[in-house]
Amino acid sequence: MNRPIPGTVEVAVRHILSDRTTGIFMRTRKVAWRDTDYRVRRPATGKQSVELICSVCEASLLAEVTDEARARRRSAVHLILAVLCAVVFVASLVYAIHVGGQVRPEGESGPALFPVSIVAIFVTFVAGPLFYLRRSGSNGVTMLDAPKPRRAHAIVPVRRTVVSTGRP
């Protein structure tokens, strides 16, 4: 599975061995897993269900594969939403700093948009990175809801690392 084949997508069926959270104030999450790589054929159009088998526990997992055009559109929409969140974040932050630093006469209330800008700062601070991570972590293959014995699994995109030899 070194080179991508047109019309296919590489995914890994991840069997989660342990998932522990430690600490009270500084929470640390440690997840151990073993995964198996699969190459799944994409449908020409629409969606298709495929069955993947976990190599660790032999559980049958049902995944939904979308066509490549739909996967690219979804990725582009998430990127656009992440960029819009960044623009709204910067604009709201500049507005809040500008209006918040003004001195008003006694008895005069602040502009009505000031609380809206504060809420927009917090919402876009969280939503922007989530949209961006959702964009980079999706390849058009999603696991359908699994019954209890199969919940210790995940289907994730395969990321290949490029090793450089240092020579041109």
Check residue 4 and give its pLDDT.
65
Note whether residue 1 is domain-resident: no
Tell me which residue of 138, 133, 123 sits closest to 93, measured CA to CA.
Answer: 123
Note whether residue 119 is domain-resident: yes
Number of structural domains found in the chain = 2
Please work out, in degrees rounded to the nearest 5, the angle formed at the alpha carbon of residue 59 by the alpha carbons of 57 and 61: 140
Residue span of the structural domain in which 39 resides: 8-68+139-157
Check residue 168 and give its pLDDT.
58
Note whether residue 21 is domain-resident: yes
The reply to whether 57 and 87 lie within a common domain is no
Contact status, residue 40 vs residue 13, Cβ threshold 8 Å: no
The reply to whether 54 and 85 lie within a common domain is no
The reply to whether 13 and 64 lie within a common domain is yes
β-strand pairing of 47-53 with 60-66: antiparallel
Check residue 118 and give its pLDDT.
93
The reply to whether 146 and 101 lie within a common domain is no
Contact status, residue 141 vs residue 155, Cβ threshold 8 Å: yes
The reply to whether 36 and 88 lie within a common domain is no
Task: State pLDDT tens for residues 42-60.
Answer: 888 888 888 888 888 888 8
Check residue 1 and give its pLDDT.
47
Mean pLDDT, the chain cut into blocks of 10 residues (168 residues total):
72 83 86 85 88 84 88 91 96 92 76 90 95 83 70 77 60
